[in-house]
Amino acid sequence: MYIYLLQRVVTAFLTLFGMSVVIFVLLRLAPGNIVDILFSSAGFVNPAAKEEIARELGLDQPIPVQYGRWLRDIARGELGKSYRYDIPAWQVIKPRIPVTVELALFALLIAVLLGVPIGVLSAARQDTATDYLLRTLSLAGLSMPSFWLGMVIILVLISWLGWIPSMTYISPFEDFKAHFLQFLFPALAVGYRSSALIMRITRSSMLDVLREDYIRTAWAKGQREWIVVFGHALTNAILPVVTVIGIEFAFMIGGLVVTETVFNLPGVARYLVDAILWRDYPVVQNLVMFIAIVVVLANLTVDLLYGWLDPRIRYGVR
């Protein structure tokens, strides 16, 4: 187990290193940089002034030199300075991370609470009216983009209640109820789509397990339905579901751009687009690396959960 964990950690570091190289190089291969954007917006181009600003920002150096400087700063615990705001990049990123993480966790909680029980019920009632209804709802969830559903929710709230949640971020320490409502509706919009995927994976996995001999033996012994379905079948069908849940959480961290924009939430995903448009390299690099770290940790956590959920799994060196 420890050897496997070490292998996974080393693989994670190599993955993050490769991601950092790709991010760094692609950003600088994109046309234009912050200096070009600043001077084009000002409507005046002074070559000497452009060169001076590029020299101050270190953009006149070769890409390998810039990359080495960035790694050196990270090793010292410095994330660089935002080109756009002229303040440390961490000060720009720090207040936005909790917003995105909270929204993703809230949406994931809703997705799991809806997707897993509905998937189990659909499998237990295979080919009945209940099954067809639940499968139709899951297809609807997969078909509707979360940002579109978010806009529909806002329109419904305005039309029916004459009210919408605050479009200005409210801290939970200021007004917990307003903060909860502000995150509830975007979490529902995102969570519904994810719950549809989780429901279908749960149903498919449950159907495979429910056909096993030990399930038929449990039925033959006269055990109660909820014991057979949840105690025996779901326990053995949960591994694919855990995989999907981990992948969905990683996807949510980086895929909330439009949803955060619709509900005017100051999160990481929304700000990442602005930072890319401004070619704010330090901020973009650190935000994308944050998303990459979440993805790697989510996959590592899922792998470790396998051994805890299924004692039959033993990790070893190949």
Provide the CATH number for the domain around residue 107. Answer: 1.10.3720.10
Q: Do 237 and 195 fall within a single domain? A: yes
47 pLDDT higher than 80: no
Q: Do 85 and 204 fall within a single domain? A: no
Domain final position from 245, 266, 287: 266
The count of domains in the chain is 2
Q: Do 119 and 255 fall within a single domain? A: yes
Q: Do 109 and 145 fall within a single domain? A: yes
- The pTM score is 0.82
44 pLDDT higher than 60: no
Domain final position from 62, 89, 116: 89
Q: Quick one: DSSP state of residue 232?
A: I
Q: Do 122 and 49 fall within a single domain? A: no
Distance CA 86, CA 278 (A): 13
Q: Do 180 and 243 fall within a single domain? A: yes
Distance CA 134, CA 131 (A): 5
Q: Do 176 and 244 fall within a single domain? A: yes
> Is the residue at 172 inside a domain?
yes
Mean pLDDT value across residues 277-287:
82
In the structure, what pLDDT confidence band is assigned to residue 118 with cuts at 50, 70 and 90?
very high
Distance CA 265, CA 99 (A): 7
Q: pLDDT (tens digit, 9 = 90+) per residue, 205-246?
A: 888 888 888 888 888 887 787 788 887 788 888 888 888 898
| pLDDT (0 to 100) of residue 108 | 92
Q: Do 119 and 85 fall within a single domain? A: no
- Per the prediction, the chain carries an average pLDDT of 82
More confident residue, 212 or 116: 116
> Is the residue at 234 inside a domain?
yes
Distance CA 207, CA 204 (A): 5
Q: How many CA atoms lie within 13 A of 97 on its CB side?
A: 15
Domain final position from 51, 69, 89: 89
39 pLDDT higher than 80: no
43 pLDDT higher than 70: no
32 pLDDT higher than 80: no
> Is the residue at 156 inside a domain?
yes
Q: Do 125 and 189 fall within a single domain? A: yes
Question: Which range marks the domain in which residue 229 is found?
Answer: 97-266
More confident residue, 289 or 51: 289
Distance CA 60, CA 52 (A): 9
> Is the residue at 298 inside a domain?
no
Of the chain, the percentage scoring pLDDT greater than 70 comes to: 91
In the structure, what pLDDT confidence band is assigned to residue 317 with cuts at 50, 70 and 90?
very low
Q: Do 83 and 6 fall within a single domain? A: yes
- Environment class of 202 (CB within 10 Å of its CB; exposed 0-12, middle 13-18, buried 19+): buried
Q: Do 50 and 183 fall within a single domain? A: no
